[in-house]
Amino acid sequence: MIVGVPKESFPGERRVALTPAVVPNLLKAGFEVVLETGAGVEASYPDADYVGRGARILPERSEVFRTADVVVQVLCPGSNDRTGKADLPLLRRDQILIGFLRPLGSIETVQELAATGVTAFSVELMPRITRAQSMDVLSSMATICGYKAVLLAADTLPRLFPMLTTAAGTITPARVFIIGAGVAGLQAIATARRLGAVASAYDLRPSTKEQVQSLGGRFVELPIEAQDAQDARGYARAQDETFYRRQRELLGRVVAESDVVITAAVVPGRKPPVLVTREMVERMAPGSVIVDLAAEQGGNCELTRAKEVAVEGGVTLIGYINLASTVPYHASQMYARNISAFLIHLFRNGQLRFDSDDEITRETLVTRGGDVVNRRIREFFSLPAKVAQGNI
């Protein structure tokens, strides 16, 4: 099996799907690895490093697609809404595609991908089970986003983060409030604490309290209870508007007292809930900073502008997207480890295993044989159920 890695084409995307370090493991597992010229340069992985580990470099993008049995990307057609469609004619029937597909974004986009006949696996759909931890790309990228969000806030805030005792007096530490204690939120807490700030966090899932406290953060408890706060995959469930309205009322005081607010509340496949309103922003002190990690999906803050930095009433709102790409060396390293583990799981003796009893394969497979075959996606877009078969 030949694994091909084209250069990422989304504007500003600096990651690469495989790094030189994972090539020997893939070769040992029976794969060959080819890459487009310069595929890893933006992430500080030159072509020579790949060649030194046993990969081959091909001069043209089209040649990578033509040569590869398996195409591995970071942003595949679907997640790459700018240039991704240009790759569709390069895909061929029964070729395998692995990467971010944004499968719950647009059914038309998923169906366009299916029409190529490609067998596509979406890394966003990786189940959160013990066996799949080494393949959990979302957690890897969320870790980087949580870290980088705090650095952006620290760079923007007109205050120091740590408490300092100086000849000019004592400087009190910055107060950082994180809304959403998933992987990104927990990393934001850890990073804020390392920089010396006082960190607190809120999540509608009570089970996160212990995790927040283990990192030295204060868990903010509200006198409201979510219904079915967490789904079987470990993600927060969407709540009704009555719950969110009461939540905003109770969070208002904590937000107003914070120097930095980082929002990381995302519900897969749905518009993020608005947790920080215009009125809440107006109550924050001038110079305060909000970093909205849900900006690309619509934002947790009412005033967030995706891809932009805005200032409202002296409060800076950072709505950058694709933060993982701003740390391309380690983001690529983590992604490559996840993907190589996934490849080794999927293949045995050079053959792709279609095992309907394997949750990892079943949940991540999106398209096959010209059709959308993923049950979750078909239910999400109200497509008729497919007839169950002995294999996937």
CB 123 within 8 A of CB 326: no
**Active-site entry in 194, 230, 235, 246:** 235
Residue with tokens 């007096």: 169
CB 177 within 8 A of CB 254: yes
Active-site position among 136, 203, 259, 292: 136
Sheet containing 218-219, strands listed edge to edge, beginning at the edge strand earlier in sequence: 218-219, 198-202, 175-179, 260-263, 289-292, 315-318, 309-312
Tokens 């518009």 -> residue: 271
As a whole number of Å, the end-to-end CA separation of the chain is 21
The residue whose two tokens read 């979750």 is 376
Distance CA 257, CA 284 (A): 7
133 classed as catalytic: yes
Catalytic residue among 79, 122, 139, 332: 139
β-bridge mates for residue 169, sequence order = 166
Q: Is 44 exposed, middle or buried (0-12, 13-18, 19+ CB in 10 A)?
A: middle
| Of 55, 50, 53, 78, residue with least CA distance to 68 | 55
Tell me if residue 139 is catalytic: yes
The owner of tokens 């100086």 is 166
Which one of 106, 133, 207, 356 is the catalytic residue?
Answer: 133
- Per the annotation, the verdict on 73 as an active-site residue is no
**Measuring CA to CA, how many Å separate 144 from each of 60, 150, 367?**
31, 10, 29
> Which entry of 9, 49, 53, 128 is annotated as an active-site residue?
128
Q: Is 247 helix (H, G, I), strand (E, B) or coil?
A: helix
- DSSP H or E run through 72: strand 70-75
Residues assigned a catalytic role: 128, 133, 136, 139, 235
